[in-house]
Structure 1
Amino acid sequence: MNATRIRDLLALALLAAVIAWLLIRTMYGSLPPIPVYAGASLYPVAALEVVLAFMIRSRVQNHQLGDGPRQLHPITAARSVALAKASALVGAASTGVWVGFLLYLLPQWATVQAASQDSTGVIVGAIAGVALVAAALWLEHCCRTPEDPDDPSEPAT
């Protein structure tokens, strides 16, 4: 399985930002106020993935891979990679949506009171999306197995 590419996440975030900006441009007046905690639901997921990454990293570094107790089962590692890849996509898309909101709200700050009130929730959401992407990429990185220098099938460099 290939590592998640940053450019793919950036492209997804850009696409989501453009679509969100276009939709918000036409519908902003009919939207309810954006509370500060609107995007905060991604923070616990990011924190959970960081904790999981440190646990997996510790087991991989100590060569505790296998079926036994206190060992990391290979299926668990594969599921963690799948979680990391999915979370990176969700984080990139949500960051793009919140950035699209922010791009619409920034020019409106001085003239529309709702825009200045909504900006706090939008910024919290955008930061949460970035935090989720960072946590997901860290988790994916921690799930990699270290190179074995004693492996005879590996070509010498």
Structure 2
Amino acid sequence: MTPVRRRDLAVLALGLAVASWLLVRAWYGSLPALDWWLPAPLAVLAIAEALGARTLRTRLAAERDARAGRAPRPGEPAVRRVEPLLVARLVVLAQASAYVGAVFTGVWGGVLAHVGPAADRVQAAGGDTVTAAIGIGCSLGLVAAALWLESVCRIPPEETGPSEGVSA
């Protein structure tokens, strides 16, 4: 499984920003109100993935220490083994979340590109500007948390060097 390329995320976000800007520009008057809480699910998912990444990183570090023969510190619980299938599932979740975050970054960016300049002239655009800014922040938070979770799930390089038959 290859890691998510940041370039792909940036191209996806930029392309959707242009597309959503065109759509919002054409149909802004007929869109429903954009409430400030609309991007909240993205923030919840970003927080959950960040907490999961922190927990997984701690558990993997404890497991590596146990394999290296280092004893746990006094007062620490016994090392719980991390299931490889769980890590594989978390990688898939992280990659999917990174793309979802990039999609919503582009969508909210396109909305902000249209309503931002009109915020002082149109009353509804002021609230929509705040919502779009919150949406961009939550979406970028989701991308960051997903990329962090993906990096935590990577297999660390061997400390003694590559094994027999593996080219460096």
TM above 0.5:
yes
Match of 1:36 in 2: 36
- 1:61–1:146: 8 Å Cα contact kept in structure 2? no
Match of 1:47 in 2: 47
Q: Which has the higher helix share?
A: 1
Unaligned runs of 5+ in 2: 67-78
Q: CA shift at 1:132, angstroms? A: 0.0
The TM-score with structure 1 as length reference comes to 0.90
Q: CA shift at 1:145, angstroms? A: 1.7
Unaligned runs of 5+ in 1: none
2:123 counterpart of 1:105 = no
Match of 2:8 in 1: 8
Match of 2:60 in 1: 60
| Count of aligned pairs | 154
Segments of 4+ in structure 1 off by > 3 A?
Answer: 154-157
2:105 counterpart of 1:95 = yes
More deviation in 138-147 or 105-114? 105-114
Separation in 1 of the partners of 2:117 and 2:161? Answer: 59
Separation in 2 of the partners of 1:44 and 1:119? Answer: 21
Deviations 1:2-44 (A, max 9, x none): 1111110000101110110111011100012111111121111
Q: CA shift at 1:122, angstroms? A: 1.1
1:5 alignment partner AA: R
Q: SS of 1:3's equivalent?
A: coil
Separation in 2 of the partners of 1:94 and 1:156? Answer: 40
Listed as ranges, the matches of 1:109-148 within 5 Å are 109-148=119-158
